[in-house]
Structure 1
């Protein structure tokens, strides 16, 4: 019943004390697992936020900017516009209480112990992806793709990215001033903050960042921020490590032209030079900076924006400094979060390396062993056999092991057109089928002898062509009985079949 401001104040104080007792009771229980620890931390965090919001309401009530609290206290003392009447104020309050209970006859006192137990068993909803394993690992795949597909990134493996993403000082400063890098850093910082808030809800991130900001401001004033030292001279010339193209590797303009127009344009823009013209003109203009400082170059080589920035008091330069400071501060916060999550980052990399070390065959074999062990422990023999890989059945009525399946190449399919497009699985079964009845029957239907010459032949057209070539080759050495078959007469004379037949027909023999 909170119809009055004083009742609201009393209920708020009671709510704060009740939540404080629940927090103390919850923290006295030691979590058994990491999941229980996260649930406990988030429960405590939610109750702390409720206490803070309730306290802010109490502060507003006590400040009494609209004098509502002051008027209500005066009314309780019987002070009205016509004078002081204590009894009238008492009976008015009593009437209000009776009216409330008449409207709510089922109102009852809530048992605090029951509510405490319900709050202590509450399981807050915490969003984690499958890759994060309930806060055990970091999921950096989206940021990794953004990194390797950017101008400031390099094509590296995911495990190597987990080592270098917390080291932004290795990226050239000129590339950090691009909008693409700023968006990447914003996404990276947002991702780490969100992960840290889910895994460490009791940490005061605002206090941590305020300390980081104070240290950063001091380092920035003293030019001690790593990767952001003031190495740009007044002449505007960038050091070699910050230029897009290292001219020390090129000895002629022709060699520099092989870089391409896009790279040349990017390098010229970085130095404040004109980026237009043909490929050769760009290369010649950039090659001038190899041995000549920028301050000694003719003004005709510089872009108009460079001269304009000098005339308007260097406003773009100030804007660039502010942009640099914002990006550097984001890097400092990101590094601090990486230090706080260092153990998680190490575990993430170890998990990635472990997954990369396991081959597909080993993972499938391990899963197959687990399935076979589960089938062995099962007492229900009529239970349906789990065979997602469609492995052949063994002598025991169960799928054969995956390593045996791979050893015999049973995943390879061989079709034979002579056998009516019948499929044979595995090299061993394919070689054996040439001597079996199905292939022999197909060869007889084609009128071709099933000899070793036709092994490995599965196409009908290829078998016919080979049989035709064999017949042509055998035709040169074919035995001709009319000329080569020998006959002997009574006198012992030898004739071939044709001559002997002709003499016999004439009656000479």
Structure 2
């Protein structure tokens, strides 16, 4: 049985050995993402072992039971030789009874230890830590009450944009569970891909910054601390131009009525007539003066809630806001991986089925190949987009997809879009939708291909003028008999029923 002094010496030796292995590992030339990932996990395991040995040493040096002091006193007493031979006798007797006890296998050579490949679990979509696999959360989002239909690429780009979600949906249990799952996945992905970054310290800093912002009412979208509907999007319908609920119903479609009521925190159920009446009742009236039953759960104005309800609502809102802040913080920590994920998804959109099959066949070879050329300087004088292999795509493919054509959109702040595909897709993206909302113009199919502010405003005015003209098929639809006489639909049907034509 090893003495405390022997345990102390062995722990110091183990720490020094681990430190030398870490230094030798960092001196290696790393050429690929896979090698860098393995090196990070090897070093992380060594550092954990160093911390474990340091913890043992700390307990020995603290000497709370005075065993180390007694052992040193026994060695350095007056009868030094008698103590030495007594301990030697105990050691021989111990090894005589247990001849194989304490024997350990010879450790591997340091050269072999710095070449170990730790086992790290990644899904196929994650590409050995290069990309995030958010498909599960994407399907949950688009099929939930707080989500909306969108493409996977748009979901990745808007992962931390929560302001477009109505307040009453953000206060639901399903939304909180969704945020928790997204946050846990991102933390797990961070630990697997960045093992040398101490994540608990980052999370603690996120929470402390959130607490300060929350107390100062500086959390975007939660300035009211979850009590009230002040954080909701304003109504997109100008009620000043309507004299009655019926006129509102005749002019605005049912979906617009529903979205406007939702943005105000009001219930959007019932018939279109009831929705129009509920919305028209808010004309020139503060939300606080409306009946409390008109509001959905989680969207009651603060002035209508009791103190207990306000505190409960504030605590619930703080929990949701904290989860949103954590997700946003993790998105910032994994910004490069998220950007690579979006680029990878966009590349897949322009590939044919044959190219995808070929990529799957070559994926195993690429994963096992240590000579990754991602750090090499690529000659790309034409600045062509990079393909799936990290090299510039062929020039003929660049011309085929029209990536040399630039389309500018004045509504998006003169943003440039390269290629017809990106140009057509941007009309459904958040930037263009935000620009249309700023112009108070509905982003419908009628406004596709409209990129100038002046044209969009003029077209919106023209559409409003057309809506004032009501089509009456009974009077304005024309029918012709066999003799070529033209009648209105009503007259034609009356004469035919009487047998006159």
Counterpart residue number, 1:149: 143
Shift of 1:270: 4.7
Are 1:321 and 2:314 counterparts?
yes
Unaligned ranges ≥5, structure 1: 79-83, 370-509
Tell me the equivalent position of 2:184: 190
Equivalent residue, structure 1, for 2:99 = 104
Q: 1:303 to 1:182 in 2, by over 3 A?
A: closer
Q: Distance in 2 between matches of 1:305 and 1:177?
A: 6
Which residue of structure 2 aligns with residue 11 of structure 1?
10
Whole-angstrom CA distance in 2 between matches of 1:11 and 1:139: 44
Deviation at 1:240, TM superposition (A): 5.5
Q: TM-score, normalised by structure 1?
A: 0.58
1:136 is matched with 130
1:61-460 to structure 2, matched below 5 A, reads 61-77=60-76, 86-102=80-96, 103-104=98-99, 114-230=108-224, 236=228, 238=230, 241=233, 252=245, 255=249, 270=265, 288-297=281-290, 314-360=307-353, 363=356
SS at 2:233 equivalent: helix
Q: Which runs of 5+ in 2 are unaligned?
A: 363-501
Could you tell me how far 1:343 is from its partner in structure 2? 2.2
**Partner Cα separation in structure 1 for residue 31 and residue 4 of structure 2:** 44
TM-score normalized by the length of structure 2: 0.59
Query: How far apart, in 1, do the equivalents of 2:48 and 2:91 lie?
Result: 32
Q: Which has the higher contact order (CA 8 A, sep 6+)?
A: 2
CA distance in 1, matches of 2:29, 2:154: 37
Q: Residue 249 of structure 2 contacts residue 273 of structure 2 at CA under 8 Å; is this kept in 1? A: no
- 1:247 offset after TM fit, Å? 8.9
Q: Distance in 2 between matches of 1:331 and 1:323?
A: 13
Q: In 2, Cα distance between the equivalents of 1:87 and 1:19?
A: 36
Deviation at 1:118, TM superposition (A): 3.5
Q: Which residue of 1 aligns with 2:440?
A: none
Conserved? CA contact 2:40–2:196, under 8 Å: yes
Equivalence for 1:497: none
Distance 2:29 2:53 in 1: 28
CA-based RMSD: 4.4
- Quick one: distance in 2 between partners of 1:351 and 1:60? 50
What are the superposed Cα offsets for residues 122-144 of structure 1, whole Å, 9 maximum, x if unpaired?
A: 21110011111111111110110
Output the CA distance in 2 between the equivalents of 1:135 and 1:187.
19
**What secondary structure, in the 3-state scheme, does the structure 2 residue paired with 1:327 have?**
helix
Contact 1:237–1:293 at 8 Å: present in 2 too?
no
Deviation at 1:202, TM superposition (A): 0.7
Q: Find the aligned partners of 1:311 and 1:68 in 2 and give their Cα distance.
A: 68
The alpha-carbon distance between structure 1 residues 300 and 152, as it changes in their structure 2 partners (threshold 3 A), is: closer
Q: Is the 8 Å Cα contact of residues 39 and 123 (structure 1) preserved in structure 2?
A: yes
The whole-number CA distance in structure 2 between the counterparts of 1:129 and 1:292 is 54
CA drift at 1:20: 0.9
Deviations 1:13-67 (A, max 9, x none): 2211111111111111122221111111100001111111222222222223333
Once residues 48 and 361 of structure 2 are traced to their aligned partners in structure 1, the CA distance between those partners, rounded to angstroms, is 49
CA distances 1:371-428 after superposition (whole Å, capped 9, x unpaired)? xxxxxxxxxxxxxxxxxxxxxxxxxxxxxxxxxxxxxxxxxxxxxxxxxxxxxxxxxx
Change (3 A) 1:237 1:361: closer
Decide whether the 8 Å contact of 1:173 with 1:227 is kept in 2. Answer: no
Moved more, 180-189 or 7-16: 7-16
